[in-house]
Structure 1
Amino acid sequence: MTKNVLAVDDSTSIRQMVCVTLTSAGYTVVEAADGCDGLEQANERVFDLVLTDLNMPRMDGLGLVRALRELPAYRQVPILMLTTESSDEMKSQGRAAGATGWMVKPFDPLKLIEVVRKVIG
């Protein structure tokens, strides 16, 4: 069964890179332009994994993580932050919000596939 990934980022080029990378590895990817759009997508269906940027308009990544964790269907779904932020303080805030892991952009496509496979198979 194909695993479904929600990629949330306000950068079209990053979303496209994530989509091409994960689609080539056999995943189905749905894109969202910001946290509000991502939350709408997540309310329409349950994804196996959510990848989200941190800094976005309307709703940032931490807000999205918190909102998803309030939904019963997303209490156990892995959520990975994919962001340029790399400070320990931000990583700590991500963990406190409920993020499962943290990857720094720019990302290595092979590393992204490796992490996704570890998290959801």
Structure 2
Amino acid sequence: MTAKVSGQGVPQAGLPGEDFDAAAADPSAFYPAPEAIMSDPELSHAQKLRLLQEWGHDITDHQTATNEGMAPPDAETRTTEAGLAQRINALLDQLGAAPEGDDSPGRTVWKRLGS
């Protein structure tokens, strides 16, 4: 069986192309928690990495919008998102993801909040 490849060049070992692309667009709609991605036996290493990175970027984008006044600030949501970003970063570390510098999921927001 030949693995499908998404538009991003990620091998599609576990999910059919359309399903993986949909999950990559909004991982939180397909998985209840980042840890569920790690425990999904149908996903390849590359798929897990991409889903976690996308989820982290979604959080960072939402936090940036909130900080810029585009979304109403909610202390509970900010705390939840910060914890979620930390969990995602820990899972990315487990996968051996190369650090993305200061722009990795969650780190950009923490840098801005510390300013």
Q: Give the TM-score taking structure 1 as reference length.
A: 0.32
TM-score normalised by structure 2 residue count: 0.33
Larger radius of gyration between Structure 1 and Structure 2: 2
Give the number of the structure whose residues are more often helix, by fraction.
2
